[in-house]
Each structure stands twice: as C-alpha cells, then as structure tokens.
Structure 1
Amino acid sequence: MIRRALLAPMRASTYRRAVFLLLGTVILLPYLLLAGLIGQSLLTTTDNRAAMLGIAAVVAVVGLVPPFLSGTRELEIAAARALLRVDLPAPGPPALETRLRAALWFAVHLTVGAVIGTALVAAVPFAFVGLSDRPTAASLGVALLILLGTVYATAGLGALAATMAPVLLGPSPAERMAAVEARERRLAERNRLARELHDSVGHALTATTLQAGAARAVFDQDPEFARRALAAIEELGRSSMDDLDRVLGLLRAENERPSVLPASRAGLQRLLDDMRAGGIEVHADLDVGETLPGEAFRLVQESLTNAAKHGTGSVRLTITAAEELVIEVRNPAAGRANRSRGRGLTGMRERVRLAGGTLEAGRDGDDWLVRARLPRD
C-alpha cells in the first residue's frame, strides 16, 4: 500500500484523474465570472441596487438548475467512466434521490476542481521561479515540496473521486430493481429460445436419425419403405428449418417477445407420423380441437422425442381437454436411469411453470410417465 502510494506520480491513472478534477475547474469558471461581475456591480453601483440584487437572485437560481438536470448526471457519468475508469451503469429514469446525489457530486467536483486548479496555477509558476536564476537550497526544497504535494494531493483526491463515484453517481434502488428486472427478462427470453431450439431441432434430429436407421435396415428388403422414410426425412428437415429460421428471427428482433405459435391438429398428426416412420409404435388418444396451444405441442414433441431416444416398445399418448388440458405420455421404463440428466425435463418443467401448470415425470410401475396439466385459456 505504501509503495503504491509512493509510486502515484508515476501512474497514468493519476494524470487521468487530474484531468477529471480539472474539468471541475473549467465548469466552475463561468460561475466565478458571473459572481465577479455581479459582485463588482453591487460594489460600484449605488443606484438601482434593488434591481441588481434581483438580477443576482435570478442568476443564482439559474445557476442552481444545472446540477439537478439529468443531462448533467449523464455527462458526469461519461466523464467518470472515461477518466476515473469507474464501471457505472447506464443512467435510468431520473428520480429525486439520484438528482440530489448527482447535484452533491457536481458541487464536490467543482469544489475539488477549484482547489486543484488553484494549487496547480500557484505551484507550477512558483516551482519554476524557485528553479530559475541562482536557486538556493531552501527555494529548491520548497518548490519540490509544493510540486510533490500538489501531485500527491491530486492522486489522493482522484482516488477518492473514483471511490465515491459509484456512491453518488451510481443507480438508485429503483434503477437497480429496473436493471435486475430487465436482466431477468433477457434471461427468460434466452431460456425460452433455448427451449424452442432444443425441442424443435432436437426432435427433428431424433426423428431423422430413427428414420434413417430404419431405412438403412430395410433398404434392400423393402425399398418402398426406405423411400417413404427418406421423404419423411426431407419433409422433417424443411419443417425444422422453418422452426430454426423463426427462432433465429426472434434472436435478431431484440424488442420482440418470443412466442410459441399454436399447432394444428394436422401438425400434431404429422408429429406422430414422424415417430411411426422411425419405427416407434405410437398409440394416440387425442381429445383436442383443431388447434393445440404451442406450449402443449412442444411438451408432446419433447416427451415423444425422449421416449424415442431412451425407450423401447410402444408409446401411448393421451391428451384430454376438459377443465384443464392434460397431456400424458407413457412408455416402458427400461433403461431410464439417466433419463433426468438431459435438458428435456428441465425445459418441460420451465414451460409448464410459466404456463401456470404442473408436471409429473418419473416411474409409474414398469412405465415411465410424463403427465402435464395446463390451465385452459
């Protein structure tokens, strides 16, 4: 710590901070000029003294306005970032507390700037005079002490300014809460997009792999089945590309909230056909209308994908729509030890929670059961 303090005059940060402090001197100059002019007028003018006092009061009120402006705080934050190298967040909507803290910072900045500016204006000329013609040891010592004292004072005040900037220019509790809420919204949108990619692309890859394997296995014995499987792979590739393009479009549109589009009954039937074409026996009992909510369709898609990836035997899908929408997928539980390690169940739980429903997933006797309950719109 002592060594760091002694090396302060050699650090670039000291001189950056000095520039920041001297900005206070520059901002203070118009105030000093106006105060000098008004003071001189009051001292030299005997007539219309009341009018001069009124003008002085108006000027004082106008001079007190800039510290409370949101633009002044933004400029101070920009200067603190660039010269003090303080990580300050972008200013949010102005509040009374932030205005008061920013005004206090502005006043301290001008005051410290005046002190540093005065010291430099007095110290540098005095030092040069002390080192000019026939300097004495005393004059040299005093000049060097003034120079070093000014440099160390500047370094100390600059370090103090860097420490106090987050306190006086930092966000208010309301701004912090707004930043946290914005971050949570961004994370929720990213998670939603990740679920969309996982469910749509994951299903497409699983179904394509199953269909390609089935086509390869019977290619010589049943060419017609192989052709149907290849056609299904082609169609599935096109639909998954559409899903991918939609999700990527949401990523590019920063202000658009990601959404899951409703699926038609025909789309649900194509999903089942894709699984059957890959050699998975699917028994479906569908009590739904012409459309299925997008979240429900994704739950069916991910449940069937998991059953195809991890299971053996047939899969039974049941969808009922009465007071609530119930989706149930059941298949043999052989080899289910690592079922919960992937992201599928996590994504389904997030979907159901955001939709205000409940999800059950686990063993049910010899079967693996996934049951989702979603409220009806």
Structure 2
Amino acid sequence: MSGFARSLLRPGGYRSIPYALLGAAVALPAFPFALIAAVFPGTPRVLFLLALVVIAAVLALVGLSGPARRFGVAAANAVLGTGLPSPGRARPAWPDRARSAAWLVLHTALSGVLLAVGGVLTLGVLTPVMWLYGDEGQFSFFGVTAAPGAWTVPVALGMLVLALLLAAAATPVFRAGATALLGPSAAERAALAERRSAVLAQRNRLARELHDSIGHTLTTSTIQAAAAADLVEADPAQVRRALGTIEEASRSALEDLDHVLGLLREEAPAKAPTRTLAEVDVLAVRAREAGLDVRLAVTGPVAALPATVSREGYRIVQEALTNALRHAGPGTVDVRVEAGPDHLGIAVVNALPGAGPRTGRRGLAGLAERVEALRGELDAGPDGQQWRLTASIPLRAGA
C-alpha cells in the first residue's frame, strides 16, 4: 500500500482540515480592508479580484513581522506535525520575513481553495436527502439538471471520497510549503548551531561544577566518616567535629546540586553559589579536619579580585585539595595564593601518591579549560617526590 493510500486510513492524514480552518481564521481580520476595492469602478469580477489583491497585501504586511514567523512555525509544528526549529526571539532577517509573508498569503489562499471545494463536495453528499424525502422536483447541480433518484446515493459517496482525497492530498502540500518557506535559512541555521554550542558549553561547565563540588564533598565526607568510625569510642568530641564537617560539606554540595539541576530543568534556579577565594580558609579548615596538614599562605588583596577569577581560583584550590586527599592521603599540603597587581598565582604542593603517579585526570583537564578560558596557564605534575600544581591567571587584558 502506497504512502498516500495509508494516509487515507490515518486521522493524521487529514491535518489539512484544521490547518485550513486556522488559515481562514487568520485571514478574517484582513477582510474589512477588501472594502477598499468598492471605491474603484469596474465589473463585479474585477472588483472581486481587486479585493483579493488587497487582502493578500494586508496579509503580506502582517507576515513581515517577527511574531508572524514565530506563530507560523509554531502552528505548522502543532497542527501539521512538522519539526521546524523555533526561530527564537531574535529578529529575523528581511529575506526570512519575506518568506514568512509569502507563506502566510499562500497558506490563506490554499485554505480558501480547500475549504471552498471541500465544502461544495460535502454539500453534494446531502443530495440523497432530497430523494429520500420524496422531493420530485428537478434541481441543478454542477450544471446538470436532473430529478432526484437512486442515482444520488453513489454520486454522494463518490463526492465524499473526493472530499477525503482532497483533504489527504492537501496535507503534504501544506507541509512542503511550510517547510520550504518557514524552515530555517542559512543564517538561522548558523544561529541554531551557535545556540547548540552554547548549550553544550553550558553543560560542560555544569559537569565541571558538579565534579569539583560533589567530588570534593564525597572525598571529604568519606575520609571523615572513616575517621569517625575509628574514634567513635575513643574520642567522641572528634567524632562530633567530623560529623559537623560532613554536614556542612553536604549542605554546600546540595546548594550546588540544586543550582545545576535548576539550570538543566530550564526553570528559575536557585541563586548560583558564589564561593570565592575570600573563603579559601574554609576549604583549608575542611581539609585539615579530613586529615590534611594544610599550610595556607594568602598574600595580596584577594577580596579585590574580579569575581570570575576569584571563583575559578576557589575551584582550583578545591580540586587540588580533593586530589591530595584522594590520591596522597593525609599529609602536608602547602597552598599559596598570591593576588598581585596584574595576575593571580596559585600553587599547591603535596606528597606524591604512594602507589605511583595518580590516575583520573578529568578534574585536572577541567581546571586547565577554566584557566585557559581566562587566558591563564596551569601546570600539574610530579616534581621530585612531590606533586605540584601551579596556576597563573592574568588580571588585565593582554597581561
């Protein structure tokens, strides 16, 4: 069975009917402008054609607007089932406006033809009623004069089939026209690709945020929980401090998680956490409670750093301490943060892992991307018997 024959058996094959009704409804406000044709002299046929030209001109002017294009795309997707991408809120270019105007005029014209012809065919289905009710007078239909009789039944069925065929055939015509004239142009496809790239970049950033925040929290909580289990009887006070650290770190991670999930759901998310290097001492306290001997040295006006640089600096220190906990275990970690006049410098040094070089460098790759985005440099690797991470981020353009 051909695709067209199958469409006759599916309700979706007759989407042209509601779409034509929508086209007629859209054209109705333009009909009063057709009265302009009445001021010109001419035969009724000429005046009728002039009225149609006036209506088409009004619809074309409406179609040049940006909202008309967005409405056309949304209507085609909802009624015809097309998959046209939304043009968004950006102002469409004039060639795209012209295509939208052409489709609005064509849509209403095809809708008028479909509804007029389909309406006549549908009225033909009612001819057997005259015969069934015993009307013996003659009537004229499509230029043929005849008396009612049994012949009206097959004629009515034939007209019904023609009406269904017309509606089914009009559906792919409407879809093809909408796709050709409302589909994205080269400029709109470029804008769509840019939006997709922005979405992917946002998702990658969110993945890094989750890796940094949740990874740090889980590492700290795991070590603290293990320490608390060993000291539950010998040092209850230390156990309480460990549990307090776990609670505080978990609450902070939940804030990050709530913010990220709000972005992924495209809802109004919770206010983005704004942890900066001004809170780097909190990171040091948590790491010390997890067993690290953190020696923190902060110099320069850290509080005056640009917000973006300060946030990324916080994440760098957080990732470095997390890696030290995860890979090297309890030990000494030297953290130096230097806010100079033209750059931010960060250095974190700890012992190498006992089992050799560390694995799982996804966090370091994310840090490198962060620093590179700020035109900075990051270096991480073994230095003798130590693991050294250094980052330098300029504070001025071209620095």
Length-normalised TM-score, structure 1: 0.76
Amino acid at match of 2:359: R
State how 1:70-89 maps to structure 2 within 5 Å.
70-89=66-85
The aligned amino acid for 1:99 is: R
- How far apart are the structure 2 equivalents of 1:204 and 1:98? 51
* 1:75-131 superposed Cα distances (whole Å, 9 cap, x missing partner): 433432232022334443243122211111112212222322232133233354379
Task: Tell me if the contact between 1:38 and 1:56 (Cα under 8 Å) persists in the aligned partners.
Answer: no
Partner residue in 2 for 1:109? 107
Q: What SS is found at the alignment partner of 2:118?
A: helix
| Distance across 2 between alignment mates of 1:207 and 1:63 | 65
1:332 corresponds to which letter in structure 2?
A: L
CA deviation vs aligned residue, 1:134-164 (integer Å, no higher than 9, x gap): 344xx77665555434422322221122233
Amino acid at match of 1:369: R
SS in 2 for 1:339: coil
Give the 3 Å change call, closer, same or farther, for CA 243–237 of structure 1 in structure 2: same
- 2:213 matches 1:168: no
Q: Answer yes or no: is 1:238 the counterpart of 2:248.
A: yes
Of 89, 93, 100, which aligns to 1:95?
93
Instruction: Tell whether the 8 Å contact from 1:324 to 1:374 is kept in structure 2 after alignment.
Output: yes
CA shift, 1:311, in A, is 1.5
CA–CA separation in structure 1 for the residues paired with 2:185 and 2:392? 41
Contact 1:193 1:247 in 2 (8 A): no
Residue 148 (structure 1) aligns with: 161
Q: What's the CA shift for 1:257? A: 8.7
Q: Distance in 2 between matches of 1:108 and 1:44?
A: 26
Q: Which runs of 5+ in 1 are unaligned?
A: 46-53
Change (3 A) 1:55 1:275: closer
- Which residue number corresponds to residue 355 of structure 1? 374
* 2:320 counterpart of 1:303: yes
Tell me, yes or no, if the aligned pair for 1:310 and 1:336 is still in contact at 8 Å.
no
Q: Distance in 2 between matches of 1:237 and 1:181?
A: 41
Aligned counterpart in structure 2 of residue 263 of structure 1, from 277, 289, 296? 277
For the structure 1 residues 362 and 162, does the alpha-carbon distance in structure 2 shift closer, same or farther, using more than 3 Å as the test?
A: farther
Letter in 1 for 2:84: L
8 Å Cα contact 1:260/1:295 also seen in 2: no
Corresponding residue for residue 293 of structure 2: 281
Q: What count of residue pairs does the alignment treat as equivalent?
A: 360
Query: 1:48 — aligned with what?
Result: none
Query: Residues of 1 paired with 2:240 and 2:338: CA distance?
Result: 33
SS of aligned partner of 1:87: coil
**Alpha-carbon distance in structure 2 between the residues aligned to 1:336 and 1:146:** 85
Distance 2:10 2:56 in 1: 39
Checking the alignment, whether the CA contact within 8 Å between 2:302 and 2:339 is kept in structure 1 is no
State the one-letter code of the partner of 2:372.
Answer: R
Which residue does 2:142 correspond to in 1?
none
Q: Deviations over 1:219-244 (max 9, x none)?
A: 555x2xx5245325415633652564
Distance 2:64 2:191 in 1: 22
Identity %: 31
1:210 maps to which of 205, 212, 223: 223
Task: Look up the SS of the partner of 1:65 in the other structure.
Answer: helix
Residue of 323, 333, 337 corresponding to 1:315 = 333
1:373 partner SS:
strand
The residue type equivalent to 2:312 in the other structure is: E
The question of whether the paired residues in 2 share the 8 Å contact of 1:311 and 1:332 is answered with yes
- Say whether the 8 Å CA contact 2:245–2:289 is kept in structure 1: no
340 and 145 in structure 1: CA distance in 2 versus 1, 3 angstrom threshold = same
Please tell me whether the aligned partners of residues 212 and 315 of structure 2 are also in contact (alpha carbons under 8 angstroms). yes
User: Would the aligned equivalents of 2:121 and 2:162 in 1 still touch at CA under 8 Å?
Assistant: no
Contact 1:263–1:294 (8 Å) recurs in 2? yes
Residue 189 of structure 1 and its aligned partner are, at CA, apart by 4.2
Q: Which residue in the other structure is 1:227 paired with?
A: 237
3-state SS of 1:86 partner: coil
Amino acid at match of 2:333: V
CA distance 1:63–1:235, shift in 2 (3 Å): closer
- Residues 359 and 119 of structure 1: is their aligned pair in 2 closer, same or farther, counting only changes over 3 Å? same
Would the aligned equivalents of 2:277 and 2:314 in 1 still touch at CA under 8 Å? yes
Task: Look up the match of 2:127.
Answer: 129
